[in-house]
Structure 1
Amino acid sequence: MMKKMTLWLVLAVGMVLLLSACGEKSQEDVMKKMENKMNDMSGYKAKAKMSMKTGQEDQTYSIDIWHKKKDFYRVSLDSDQDKKSNQIILKNNDGVYVLTPSLNKSFKFQTEWPDNSSQPYLFQSLVKDIKKDKDATFKATDKHYVFQTKTNYQSNNNLPFQEIYIDKKTYTPVMVKVLDKDKKSLVEVKFQNFDLDPSFKKKDFVLKDIMTSAVAELPVSKNQDNETDSLTVFFPEFTAGAELAEKQEINLADGKRVIMSYTGEKGFTLIQEKKASQETMSYPKQVDGELVNLGKSIGALSDKSLEWTENGTNYILASEQLTKEELIQVAESVAGKEVK
């Protein structure tokens, strides 16, 4: 009798261990795996496609993400709609920059990027958001572990949630969906590959070398086509209740500037400028603010202004009354209709 009971206990324990081994990993198990992978790697290179429905028109980008431990980043965003609107976010020992090669232009930011807000295309940002959210939900599918967490967009409360899909075998991100308040997906990042053992050269994170290489790779410009180089003026569809009071056109030596003044309880000024030739970059323009993704461009946001470039045109939006979130809303709606 004793032998039978002992045999039964052994079989029972064996079955429990077998079922435990075959069972799905817990949320804590997956988080630990992701943290270990992130801590053990020396860096990564990844490619992704990002689609955005946050502005007046849908935008899609091809993204190259390079990260070298500990604090070096290089994110190249190529617009599928405008092949000349490539922008590069760079972080090295000297600071954080946004480069626009087609305009030979760069901004230097006084910012804690990428730690100050959510970044859907950065592995460590996703891990940080999951870990920070004590109410994060978790489920397992056939191929993925799926987390739903809160986001941390300081200047945009319209995107409060995200779904993060993690590959079960590699524990790296496969897809990220950034959701609005109704849980509707407005931004999607789909990773196409993830290299956890990349090699880097020293010049890969040097501003001057990156800009020189990027400018050399630009498509040939058709400067002889006046229509291509002329300024097409647009106005914002969202104005926070303000109305267009004055539109002033100024002819420059090699281009045109248009100043549009909106008056109301929350008035603002929108400046659009396009030049036939771009000045050679001597040093980056300092920005005491943060970088924001407007869907069509990476913008430089400060307390009272927002500056960005699109299709060779420089835009400056300034206001004493608009909040940062409203500045972003106005900027996202620009280029809805051409002013006749």
Structure 2
Amino acid sequence: MRKTFKMLIVGVVIMLVLAACGEKTQEDIIEDLEKKLDGMTGYKANATMVLQTGNEPQQYDVEIWHQKENYYRVALKNEEKDQSQIILRNDDGVFVLTPALNKSFRFQSDWPNNNSQVYLYESLIEDVLVDAERTFNASEEHYVFQTNTNYQNKNLNSQEITLNKNDLSPASVKIMDADFEVLVQVDFTSFEMNSSFDEGDFGMDRNMTGAQMEVPTMAEPDSEEPMTVYFPMYEPQGSSLTESEQVETEDGSRYILSYTGDKSYTLIQEKARVVPATTPMDVIEGDPVDLGFTVGVMSNDSIRWTYDGVDFFLASEDLDEEEMMAVARSVYGTQVK
């Protein structure tokens, strides 16, 4: 009883000291974050994102626009790979645009509400608010929360979210695996709360045209040039490569890798080509999926994506969604054909 009373007194003293020093408690900050979310009409942000999920680090410039309630624009650009993609959400659905190929997909999807999103401010704050196991500390300029996550990639186990003390804007995010190795790091370089937007800022046509002015449409591939064939570095237990087939089509070579066993799947790849019209391909049920090095399209027991000038299509009736994404994320082993 005496020990409990003494601990209570110490706790009260600490709170009084913090209050005297002007320091906010975790409860104060949580309340401020809730008010921030409720009063926010949108924002514009810029960030750099470094991925450690493949065979070598990859860096992306990320531009994020959000207008409440359901308007989003996330533009990702990898200067080294000369690759850019845009994820949009507007009244017509969710879109994944690949401007260099004039290619777009349209979904009926709950994105971005169905998973944690490392570059979306409101998603990060929601992760803080809902995690009863979160930890908290403060430095001279920042508040730092460690929380559990709900990312598509289940290897992304926990995250460290750093907020600026002066206005609770995002400073950085580190996402870690179960061994606390950092797999993804996002550093915010600018953040403007309650930004204004013009009509059409979240429209598919305007974003495709605008992006193509920055990243020109890709030239048609040379049919004589040898193609780089990629192999998954991860193979689910119970599957192995049993057939590698080259098929000639009107557009060039197509490579079909067949993996059989308890976890059978097929990986098809061919040189990416520019789509003549910007009419989006409709996906009735599906989601954009974060593969680390690119944004893919998941639907009907399949994932399709484009990377380094190659179109990929992975299909399986045996793999669940997480296993399919794990295979897709590992497709970086190569062999020139």
SS in 1 for 2:200: helix
1:234 to 206, 211, 230: 230
SS in 1 for 2:147: strand
CA 1:79 to 1:25, structure 2 compared with 1: closer, same or farther past 3 Å?
same
CA 1:338 to 1:19, structure 2 compared with 1: closer, same or farther past 3 Å?
closer
What letter matches 2:227 in structure 1? L
CA deviation string 1:254-285 (max 9, x = no partner)? 33321111112211100102255433222333
2:118 to 115, 120, 127: 120
1:102 to 81, 100, 114: 100
SS in 1 for 2:228: coil
Q: Does 1:60 align with 2:56?
A: no
In 2, Cα distance between equivalents of 1:19 and 1:261: 63
In 2, Cα distance between equivalents of 1:156 and 1:17: 43
Shift of 1:332: 1.1
1:298 to 295, 299, 305: 295
What letter matches 1:30 in structure 2? I
Give the structure 2 partner of residue 177 of structure 1. 174
Identity %: 46
Gaps of 5+ in 1: 1-15
What letter matches 2:19 in structure 1? S
Gaps of 5+ in 2: 1-14
CA 1:287 to 1:312, structure 2 compared with 1: closer, same or farther past 3 Å?
farther
1:111 to 109, 112, 119: 109
Give the structure 2 partner of residue 30 of structure 1. 29
In 1, Cα distance between equivalents of 2:273 and 2:301: 29
What letter matches 2:268 in structure 1? I
Shift of 1:319: 1.0
Q: Does 1:259 align with 2:259?
A: no
Give the structure 2 partner of residue 337 of structure 1. 334
Give the structure 2 partner of residue 245 of structure 1. 242
CA deviation string 1:97-128 (max 9, x = no partner)? 11111111111223211111100111100111
1:86 to 84, 87, 105: 84
In 2, Cα distance between equivalents of 1:18 and 1:332: 50
CA 1:149 to 1:277, structure 2 compared with 1: closer, same or farther past 3 Å?
closer
Shift of 1:230: 5.2
TM-score by length of 1: 0.88
Task: Answer whether contact 1:235 1:339 (CA < 8 A) is retained.
Answer: no
CA deviation string 1:48-96 (max 9, x = no partner)? 001111223322110000011221110000013311x201010111111
CA 1:323 to 1:19, structure 2 compared with 1: closer, same or farther past 3 Å?
closer
Alignment coverage as a number of residue pairs: 322
Task: Answer whether contact 1:24 1:140 (CA < 8 A) is retained.
Answer: no
Give the structure 2 partner of residue 160 of structure 1. 157
1:181-196 alignment runs, 5 A limit: 181-196=178-193
1:203 to 200, 203, 228: 200
Of residues 156-165 and 299-308 in structure 1, the stretch that sits farther from structure 2 once superposed is 299-308
TM-score by length of 2: 0.89
SS in 2 for 1:64: strand
CA 1:247 to 1:225, structure 2 compared with 1: closer, same or farther past 3 Å?
closer
SS in 2 for 1:330: helix
Shift of 1:215: 2.2
Shift of 1:21: 4.0
Shift of 1:148: 0.6
Give the structure 2 partner of residue 71 of structure 1. 70
